[in-house]
Amino acid sequence: MIRNTLPRYEILSEEAVATLDRGWRRIVSEIGIEFVLPAAVEEFRRAGQAVDGSVVRLDPEFVLEQVAKAPREFDVQARNPARSVHIGGDHMVFTAVYGCPFVRVGSERRDATMADFENLVRLAQAFPQLDSPGGTICEPNDRPLDSRHLDMVFALQTLSDKPYMGSVTSGPNAADTIRMTEIVFGGREAIERTPAVIALINVNSPLRYDDRMLSAMLEYVRAGQPVVITPFLLMGAMSPVSIPATLVQQLAEALAGVALAQLVRPGTPVILGSFLSNTDMQSGSPSFGTPESAIGLLCTGQLARRLGLPWRSGGGFTSSQAVDAQAAYEAVMTMLPTFLAGTNYVMHAAGWLESGLVSCYEKFVVDIEVLRMLQAEFAPLEVDEASLAFDAHLEVGHGGHFLGAAHTLERFRDCFYRPLLSSTENFERWQRNGGRDAAERASEIWRRTLAEYEQPPLDAAIREELEEYVTRRRAELGD
Amino acid sequence: MIRNTLPRYEILSEEAVATLDRGWRRIVSEIGIEFVLPAAVEEFRRAGQAVDGSVVRLDPEFVLEQVAKAPREFDVQARNPARSVHIGGDHMVFTAVYGCPFVRVGSERRDATMADFENLVRLAQAFPQLDSPGGTICEPNDRPLDSRHLDMVFALQTLSDKPYMGSVTSGPNAADTIRMTEIVFGGREAIERTPAVIALINVNSPLRYDDRMLSAMLEYVRAGQPVVITPFLLMGAMSPVSIPATLVQQLAEALAGVALAQLVRPGTPVILGSFLSNTDMQSGSPSFGTPESAIGLLCTGQLARRLGLPWRSGGGFTSSQAVDAQAAYEAVMTMLPTFLAGTNYVMHAAGWLESGLVSCYEKFVVDIEVLRMLQAEFAPLEVDEASLAFDAHLEVGHGGHFLGAAHTLERFRDCFYRPLLSSTENFERWQRNGGRDAAERASEIWRRTLAEYEQPPLDAAIREELEEYVTRRRAELGD
């Protein structure tokens, strides 16, 4: 977690903000949002909103009253207190890639397995630039569908001592996650006091929440655990081919979800989510790292701050199929705006490849290098008399060299960013050392990092209780 | 040339700016700047500044009086008037890589030749994202050192109709450039009225201008042609290992040069140059695309605007030896801040590789894609009622799809950025099409672009006069 105290880069005029504000109000009140779960609809009916089947038409002022109940900032505890995070304000929390069915290792692309899941969690634990492994760091396809959420949560809890994200594949799976979190953190009361697991709730955009996501969401909200309510918007598919239209849709969808969370449990922590990119209108495929997604990201930050909500966006997005130049320029094209916009909760910050279908080991390392660079870049620059190093100028004079100056010798170890992956070797030396490109060097780095990984200690009784829970539930689920 | 009307990203507080202001004043007045050319020293002596051998100690107020004589904005004409550029204000002009002794083509790295020079100028002419090929797009090592400036200027003038940069390797070579420019633009008066060639004047940092650069500079300034006065600062080598110290050194050096230009010809157009990165303190090599260089770039923009001077910085910098992920993330790490800072004159915007030792054909295309993306991203976002596309929401409703919506069908051709190089193909299709990474696709793109290149027309009499001049001067120079 870093604090980003540099200025926010805001590109919307007051007039544009007012236009967007009218836009989401019109959508929620005239078209409404569909909630495909009677319990959710019932919450809105009881609060006096207009219900028509599963569609709820919302009074915008009512929505804002609910939104105002959400905390502007909150803490999430990790089982190692030193790893606990604060979400909101100028804090930025970084989590790894989420939800990929495939992995890429070097030139091999294949179905992700539980072993990959565990390895990627270990990498997320090892790199200090990540505050959390996230949740579904890849899909463990070799485990039964019914019970793999138990395997994933167990791995997140035991291989890492950083905060983690819970299962959202159903209400019962969410309940399992919460129960396992209670085991680790000392009971329900302890996690209600300070939340300990975050859940990603995707909207089934446009303008619909499905029953599966709503059931999971209600479990987390009732337990006071934070939900990241995220419209899933690829312009041209789930939203119109217009950034302003997509921004208002995003607000309409997300704020309706935030209102539901506050109705169910006033004051429950929420994160305004944004996952906004566009369709490549030539190929019909999703397109990531685009100018449109960067613009959407900057605008979303500005709008979220006006609403007083912590917000999620950003990541090392790319559509590239390989760890090549495209993968890298697209990743920075979203990750740098993520810092400019001061995103509070950054998902997909390491490992994302191929439009999110692939968790890639080498891309993981590339993204860590990008994160390290940006975390250095967005630190405040200290400008005072001493920083002007006037004596060094006196010492070196005209046409001299600063390498041997006293000022340099006192500071050379930590005066500049030191790369993890990047090479500045001259060509001859680089060739002599094998002429390996960044992807090849990244491969060596993740292998070394895994080899040096140390599992964080966990109380034996807690581990045993978790194992018993997983074993029992797996049997109950028939796996 | 684009106009960048988005906000500038400024990170220095008023207090920091005041501290930096005190810093450069102290350097110019207490340590002074060395000018290794008697004619330059004489200018300062006549203006009442303190001269000690070749070192001039300057009154900061005197410096600012001179700086105030420089135009805030100016035009540079191209031989095709549609290609003329405006420098300053919110305009951004982009030029190709400059000064590389080597080229890289695919996996081959070798000495650059005149054929490479011509090919790279053709590429710069062909891609509309570049406003100018720049000057020494690579070093034509197969031409005699004494006269290759004639070959380069001739190629720039005949293979491109965009503005170009002139030779700065000596006073006489600068005079040749100016004479050849007079031939193309209709005489001395025509180019004094509106300048037609730009010259890059590097400071021999720290705090020294050498005779070669000064001689060239004086030729251009006397002819009223714009000079880009650029301290050459790799922190740890040519400046202290501190960003603030380097910023004040940069101001001290550049403003002293600007003052000289204004003494020689008041009102002559100048560009405040910045070339600021750091040494990798582990390898001792120059390091590009670093967090430090991005911070320096943002600060330089803020300082240049306060001085009312057009300014130069940025580019697609990298230390990478190959067109890999490192080359791409480092390039965006400086190119995106270049846009945030609103750099007026961007050198090295395409083709830079291996810390500037290599002009690379494939990196050229990667950089063009990055430029295209950023030029799209930094266009103003129109937010009005129509952009909210409310009817599209009415048409599609809850859980629907926008691909076939009327709003989409009317706009799908140009609603989003369309990539030149990036691929969004799904994995199977990408593999079927050869599974080529971005560098391989870039190779195909520059080869196709060269094949389709059309030489811009030039009046036969002008061409003949240029050829005669080159032939005569080559003979005079003994080549």
Name the A residues in 278-297 with CB < 8 Å from any B CB.
278-287, 289-292, 294-295
Which residues on chain A are in Cβ contact (under 8 Å) with B355? 424
Token couple for A285? 């495929």
Check if B334 contacts A (Cβ < 8 Å).
no
According to the model, what pLDDT value does residue B275 have? 97
Give Cα A81 to chain centroid, integer Å. 20
Q: Name the residue facing A381 among B34, B295, B425 (closest C-beta).
A: B295
Give the span between the Cα atoms of B220 and B235, in whole angstroms.
29
According to the model, what pLDDT value does residue A42 have? 98
pLDDT in tens, B300-321: 999 999 999 999 998 999 999 9
pLDDT in tens, B362-406: 999 999 999 999 999 999 999 999 999 999 999 999 999 999 999
Mutating which of B13, B207, B402, B415 best tests the A interface, going by the most A Cβ atoms within 10 A? Answer: B402
Of all residues in chain A, the one with the smallest CA distance to B422 is A326
Which residues on chain A are in Cβ contact (under 8 Å) with B432? none
Check if A11 contacts B (Cβ < 8 Å).
yes
Interface A:B, Cβ pairs < 8 A: 386
Residues of chain B with pLDDT under 70: none
Q: Classify the phi-psi angles of B286: left when phi > 0, otherwise alpha if psi is within -120 to 50, otherwise beta.
A: beta
Q: Is B324–A325 a contact, with Cβ atoms under 8 angstroms apart? A: yes
Report chain B's mean pLDDT, rounded to a whole number.
97
Give the span between the Cα atoms of B255 and B44, in whole angstroms.
13
Token couple for B257? 């040069």
Greatest alpha-carbon span in chain A:
80
According to the model, what pLDDT value does residue A274 have? 98
Give the span between the Cα atoms of A129 and A8, in whole angstroms.
21
A122 pLDDT above the threshold of 90: yes
Which residues on chain B are in Cβ contact (under 8 Å) with A276? none
pLDDT in tens, B340-358: 999 999 999 999 999 999 9
Q: Is B236–A416 a contact, with Cβ atoms under 8 angstroms apart? A: yes
Report chain A's mean pLDDT, rounded to a whole number.
97
3-state secondary structure of A10: coil
A272 in Cβ contact with A254 (< 8 Å): yes
Give the span between the Cα atoms of A253 and A31, in whole angstroms.
11
To the nearest whole Å, the CA of B407 is away from the closest chain A CA by 7
Mutating which of B13, B282, B326, B428 best tests the A interface, going by the most A Cβ atoms within 10 A? Answer: B326
According to the model, what pLDDT value does residue B283 have? 86
Compute the average pLDDT of residues A312-318. 95
Of all residues in chain A, the one with the smallest CA distance to B365 is A325
pLDDT in tens, A321-355: 999 999 999 999 999 999 999 999 999 999 999 99
According to the model, what pLDDT value does residue A18 have? 98
Give the span between the Cα atoms of B371 and B32, in whole angstroms.
39
According to the model, what pLDDT value does residue B314 have? 84
Q: Is B326–A323 a contact, with Cβ atoms under 8 angstroms apart? A: no
Vertex B53, ends B50 and B57: CA angle to 5°? 30
Which residues on chain B are in Cβ contact (under 8 Å) with A413? 281
Q: Is B423–A326 a contact, with Cβ atoms under 8 angstroms apart? A: yes
Compute the average pLDDT of residues A36-51. 98
Mutating which of A10, A107, A288, A321 best tests the B interface, going by the most B Cβ atoms within 10 A? Answer: A321
Give the span between the Cα atoms of A336 and A375, in whole angstroms.
10
- Which pLDDT band, with edges at 50, 70 and 90, does A314 fall under? confident
Q: Is B405–A324 a contact, with Cβ atoms under 8 angstroms apart? A: no
According to the model, what pLDDT value does residue A197 have? 98
Check if B208 contacts A (Cβ < 8 Å).
yes
Output b/e per residue, B23-48; b: 16+ Cβ within 10 A: bbbbbbbebbbbbbbeebbebbeebe
3-state secondary structure chain B: CEECCCCCCCCCCHHHHHHHHHHHHHHHHHHCEEECCHHHHHHHHHCCCEEECCEEECCHHHHHHHHCCCCCCEEECCCCHHHCEEECCCEEEEECCCCCCEEEECCEEEECCHHHHHHHHHHHHHCCCCCECECCCCCCCCCCCCCHHHHHHHHHHHHCCCCEECCCCCHHHHHHHHHHHHHHHCCHHHHHHCCCEEEEEEECCCCEECHHHHHHHHHHHHCCCCEEEEEEEEECCCECCCHHHHHHHHHHHHHHHHHHHHHHCCCCCEEEECEEEEECCCCCCEECCCHHHHHHHHHHHHHHHHHCCCEEECCCCCCCCCCCHHHHHHHHHHHHHHHHCCCCEECCCCCEEHHHCEEEHHHHHHHHHHHHHHHHHCCCCCCCCHHHCHHHHHHHCCCCCCCCCHHHHHHCCCCCCCCCCCCCCCHHHHHHCCCCCHHHHHHHHHHHHHHHCCCCCCCHHHHHHHHHHHHHHHHHCCC
Give the span between the Cα atoms of A154 and A34, in whole angstroms.
34
Compute the average pLDDT of residues A214-225. 98
A114 pLDDT above the threshold of 90: yes
According to the model, what pLDDT value does residue B433 have? 95
Q: What is the pTM of this model?
A: 0.98
Give the span between the Cα atoms of A320 and A204, in whole angstroms.
25
According to the model, what pLDDT value does residue A276 have? 97
According to the model, what pLDDT value does residue A283 have? 86
Check if A206 contacts B (Cβ < 8 Å).
yes
Name the B residues in 18-77 with CB < 8 Å from any A CB.
19-20, 23, 26-27, 31-34, 55
Of all residues in chain A, the one with the smallest CA distance to B435 is A321
Helix axes A171-185, A211-222, angle to 10 degrees: 30
Q: In chain A, pLDDT over 70 holds for what percent of residues?
A: 100
Mutating which of A329, A385, A409, A431 best tests the B interface, going by the most B Cβ atoms within 10 A? Answer: A329
pLDDT in tens, A135-151: 999 999 999 999 999 99
Burial (CB count <10 Å: 0-12, 13-18, 19+), residue A25? buried
According to the model, what pLDDT value does residue A103 have? 98
Vertex B112, ends B106 and B118: CA angle to 5°? 95
Does ipTM come in above 0.90? yes
Output b/e per residue, B306-317; b: 16+ Cβ within 10 A: ebebbbbbbbbb
- Which pLDDT band, with edges at 50, 70 and 90, does A129 fall under? very high
Which residues on chain B are in Cβ contact (under 8 Å) with A292? 416-417
pLDDT in tens, A359-406: 999 999 999 999 999 999 999 999 999 999 999 999 999 999 999 999
Q: Is B292–A417 a contact, with Cβ atoms under 8 angstroms apart? A: yes
To the nearest whole Å, the CA of B459 is away from the closest chain A CA by 41
How many of the other CB atoms lie within 10 Å of CB of A212? 18
CA neighbor of B369 nearest in space, from B325, B419, B438? B419
B28 in Cβ contact with B60 (< 8 Å): yes
Check if A437 contacts B (Cβ < 8 Å).
yes
Which residues on chain B are in Cβ contact (under 8 Å) with A103? none
Token couple for B105? 């083509």
Check if B381 contacts A (Cβ < 8 Å).
yes
Q: Name the residue facing B323 among A325, A396, A415 (closest C-beta).
A: A325
